[in-house]
Structure 1
C-alpha cells in the first residue's frame, strides 16, 4: 500500500470513528532504513554447526581416474575416530548385499563450533560407468545411503556444472543458484567451483563452511566435486607487519578429499591437482599461491607436464584469479607470464575462473583460433563492477547477476550455457571438434540482454561494488 492510499484509508477510518492504530506500511516506514544482510544466517553466540556423532559435510571428489575411483570426506565430533565407508553396487532392491568396507583416516580441527574430526576414505578398484551406493559412519550411526556413478566411457554424454565464487551469504542466496542448477542439469556428474567458496577470516569460518555445505546440498554427494582454492581460502598471517604472508586456511585440506598429484608450495598442503573424467582432463591451478607465494613458474612446469601427456579429447583449466580481469585495476601479471603461455600452447578448451564477481568471456590472447575460451563468472551475492577494458574486449559481459554454467559434452561437441539464478539464458556457445582443431559456434537465440548494475552504491555505501 502506497502512502497516498494509506492517507485515504486513514481519512475514511477517522470519519467512521474507527481509527485506532493504523501504522504506516513497513515498506514506506523502513525504505530509508534498509540494512545489509549478514554474511551468515547464524545469530551471534549460536552454535548452529557444532559437530555431533551424526556424519555431516559429506562430499565426494574424483580420483585421478574418475572411472575407477573417488574419495569421500565427512565430519563428526571427536568421539568418532577412524570410521568406515561402506560401498556396494546400487540396485533396485533395498538389499544391497554385503558392502565393501574402507577405513577412513582422521584429522582434528578446532573452530568456533568446537572440536571436530574430519575423515577421508579413498575408494578404488571400481568399474567405469557404474552406479554405486555408499554411506559413511558416525558415532553408533550412519549417514543415509547415497548414490554416485563413476565416470563412463569417453563416448558417453557428460553433463557438468561450473560455478564462480559462492563466498558470501551461501545459505541465503547461493542456495537458490544450486537449486536452479539442479533443475537445469538434472544429470550432472561433476561440479567445478572456481574458488572463494567462503569469505573466511571473520571469526565465522566454520559457520560459513557449514552454510556452504547446506547450499551445495545433494550436489556434494550425488556428483563429484572439484574446487579450486581462492584467496579467501587463505588468510593473512601477521597481517600489517613485515612478516605478513598468505597461509592456507585449516579447513581446506580437511573438507575435500582431493587427488594428491599436484605440487606443494612453501610446505603447505598441495592445492593443485588433476584428474580425467569421461574424455575430459581437468587441471586445477592455485592462483593465490602463484601470485602471492611465488609458485607461478613451478605450477607452469607442472601444468605443462599434465597437458603434454593428455589423451582425453577435451581439456579444462580451473583457476580462481582470471588471466584477463573484467574488473578495473587488476592485472595478474605472474599468471600471464608463466601459466598463460602453457595454456595457449596446449590449446586448452576452457579456462574457468572467478575472483572478479562479474561475468565476462573472451578468446585466445594472440591468435585467431577458437580456443582457449576464458570465462569469469560469479554464483554468489557479492557483485563488482566491470571495467571499460572488459566491455571493449569481452563479449558478453555482465554485472549484478548470479549465474550458473551448464556444460554438456556429446558427439564431438561441447555446449556451454550460462544461466541466471532464475534460469534465463545469458550466454551460450558450442566448441565443435573437427579433428584438426576446434571451431566455436555462437548460440545467440534465447539470450537475454547483457545486464548492468543500476545502483550507485551498495547498502554499505561502497561505489566500487554493485552489491555485497
Structure 2
C-alpha cells in the first residue's frame, strides 16, 4: 500500500493535470448542511438564505487554547464564499463589547467541494468566567448567542464534569455512509445524536473524542479513494453544534481521520484537512498536530496520536520518529510532579486493551504507552477504535492488580491505570472475540478469563486475559465527575457509563490522596 506522502504526490500530479473548477464549490458539503438545516429547526433560516445566495455560519465548535484559563478557539463553517469581513462579537453579556477578527481558511477537496472555515482566537480571558459570543457576517447576518466558560483559576477546587466517547459519525445526511445501526434491545434510533444530546444536557467543562470523528474517509486505511466525502464534516459539525458551540470538544485522531486527500506539507500523517477545520492546542511536539496537553482544575489531559504507534494499521506508523513518545514521557513526568494536578487522563484511539472481535488490542500502542503510564501513574486511559464500551480492572505491568466490579473504588496511585474503551459513540457496534456476552449492571454475565488477541508487527497473537471487567455491546458515553477534595483529604474521579437511552450501566471511583500543601499557582503547560 502506498504511503500517505506517495498518495499525496500522485494526487498533486493528477490535480495539476486536471484543475478543479471552483464553480463546483461545496457540491457535497454545503448540500449536506442545507439538508440538515432545513430539517433540524435552528438553521432553517440560514439554509433558506443560502439557497437564495446568502451565507450563514453553521457547525460552530469550541476548543481550548494553549491555556484553557485564558484562551478559547471559536470556529464554524461559512456556507458560501464570504464577501467582506467576518467577525466574532465577544463579551460578558449579550451587549458583547469586544470584536475579534476572524481568519477564513479555504479548503478545496478536488472534484468534490470547496469549503470556508471561520476561526477566531479569544485570548486574554479571565479564568473561571462565562463569555457570550456570536459570529457576524458582512451582510449583517448573525448566529444565535452562545456561552462558554474558561477553565478555573489556580486554587479553585470546585467540582466539575467532563465527558468522552469515540467513533461517532453522523446520523443524517452524508449519503451512503451515514450511520447504520440496530434499534433492538432498547437502543435509540439515532444513537450518535442521542449521545450528543446527553452530553449537551450535562454541560460538561469539556468533551473528549478519542478519534474517528466523522468518517469522511470511509476505509480508514490512510489512502485516498473515491469514497471520501467532505460533506460528512459539514454534517458532523452541524450535528454536534448543540453541544460544541458551548463546550470545548477536544479531538484525538483515529485511523478514519487520516485523510490523504489533503496536502499536509509532506508531514506524512494526512491531517492537512484538520488544520482548516479544527483548532487544537499547540502544546505538543512539533510535527504532531493532534498531540497536545491541557489542564483543567486538578486534572491534566493528554491527547496521543495512536496512528503513529499502531502495528495494526500502519499507514502513518512511526511518522514522528519517536518524538511523540519522548514528549509524552516528559509531559507525564511534569504533570505527575505538579502538586496542583491530582488526576492524569490520556486519550487516544487504538486500544492498548480490548477484547472486541473487531480490532481488539494493538501491540504497538500497548508497548509504547503502557510502560509510560505505569512509570508516571496515569489514572485513566480513554480509548476508541472498537465499537463497544469496555472497562478494565486497574492494570500495572500488563496485569490486573485487583478486581474492580461495578461500584468499586480504585486507588489509582497504588492499583494502577484503568483503561476504558468508549468507541461506543455511534458507529455500528462490534461483537466480542470470544463469542461471549455482555457483562455490566443489569447483565452480570460470567466472571471468567476471556479469550482475546493482540496485533503486532508479526500479525495476530491470541491471549487469554483476566483484566476485562465490564463489557457492553451498545452505545454509551463516559461521564466523569471530578471532586478535587481538600488538601490532606481524598480526591475522586467518578466514572459513569451511560447508554444512548440515558441508563447508567457501570460506575467506578478512581481516588487519590491530595497533598496537604496544595500549590495555588502553577505555570501553564
**TM-score, scaled relative to structure 2:** 0.66
- Rate the CA distance shift 1:408–1:298 in 2: closer, same or farther, 3 A: same
Q: Specify every segment of 5 or more residues in structure 1 that has no aligned partner in the other structure, as ranges.
A: 1-42, 239-244, 437-468
Larger radius of gyration between Structure 1 and Structure 2: 1
Alignment of 1:216-231 (within 5 A): 216-231=240-255
Q: C-alpha displacement at 1:125, in angstroms?
A: 0.9
Please list the CA deviations of residues 17-54 of structure 1 after superposition, one character each: whole Å capped at 9, or x if unmatched: xxxxxxxxxxxxxxxxxxxxxxxxxx999923268621
The structure-2 alpha-carbon separation of the partners of 1:65 and 1:236, relative to structure 1 and needing over 3 Å to count, comes to closer
The 1:237/1:221 distance shift into structure 2, 3 A limit, reads: closer
Contact 1:407 1:417 in 2 (8 A): yes
Given the alignment of the two structures, is residue 365 of structure 1 paired with residue 381 of structure 2, yes or no? Answer: no
Indicate the SS of the match to 2:124. Answer: coil
- Alpha-carbon distance in structure 1 between the residues aligned to 2:257 and 2:346: 19
Deviation of the 1:270 alpha carbon: 1.3
Q: 1:340 Cα deviation (Å)?
A: 2.0
Which whole-Å CA distance do the structure 2 matches of 1:133 and 1:230 have between them?
32
Matches within 5 A, 1:149-168: 149-153=149-153, 154-167=156-169
For the residues of structure 2 that align with 1:71 and 1:160, how far apart are their CA atoms? Answer: 18
Aligned residue for 2:157, secondary structure, equals: coil
Contact 1:49 1:113 in 2 (8 A): no
Q: Does 1:337 align with 2:383?
A: no
Q: 1:102 aligns with which of 75, 79, 100?
A: 100
1:4 corresponds to: none
SS at match of 2:390: strand
1:208 aligns with 2:247: no
Q: Name the structure 1 match of 2:496.
A: 417
CA shift, 1:272, in A, is: 0.9
Quickly say closer, same or farther: Cα 1:127–1:327, change in 2 above 3 A.
Answer: same
On the 8 A contact 1:69/1:126 being kept in 2, the answer is: yes
CA distance in 2, matches of 1:144, 1:334: 45
| Structure 1 position 322, deviation (Å) | 0.9
**Distance (whole Å) between structure 2 residues aligned to residue 335 and residue 433 of structure 1:** 26
Number of the residue aligned with 1:463:
none
Q: Report the number of matched residues.
A: 378
What's the CA shift for 1:247? Answer: 4.4
Q: How does 1:275-424 map to 2 (within 5 A)?
A: 275-291=294-310, 292=314, 293=316, 294=318, 295=320, 297-310=322-335, 311=338, 312-328=341-357, 330-362=360-392, 363-366=394-397, 368=401, 369-377=414-422, 378-388=424-434, 389=451, 392-399=466-473, 401-410=474-483, 411=485, 412-424=491-503
Q: Matches of 1:276 and 1:176 in 2, distance apart?
A: 28
Alignment of 1:5-404 (within 5 A): 47-49=31-33, 53-76=55-78, 77-80=80-83, 83-90=86-93, 94=94, 96=95, 99-111=97-109, 114-140=113-139, 141-153=141-153, 154-167=156-169, 169=171, 172-183=190-201, 185=202, 187-201=203-217, 203=227, 205-235=229-259, 247-265=269-287, 270-291=289-310, 292=314, 293=316, 294=318, 295=320, 297-310=322-335, 311=338, 312-328=341-357, 330-362=360-392, 363-366=394-397, 368=401, 369-377=414-422, 378-388=424-434, 389=451, 392-399=466-473, 401-404=474-477
Contact persistence 1:326–1:359 (CA under 8 A):
no
Q: Deviation at 1:151?
A: 1.1
Query: Residues 71 and 289 of structure 1: is their aligned pair in 2 closer, same or farther, counting only changes over 3 Å?
Result: same
SS, match of residue 395 in structure 2: coil
Counterpart contact for 1:105–1:121, Cα < 8 Å: yes
Partner of 2:42 in structure 1? none
Unpaired segments ≥5 residues, structure 2: 1-26, 35-49, 174-189, 219-226, 402-413, 435-450, 453-464, 486-490, 516-525
Whether the 8 Å CA contact 2:59–2:240 is kept in 1: the answer is: no
CA contact (8 A) 2:360 2:386 kept: no
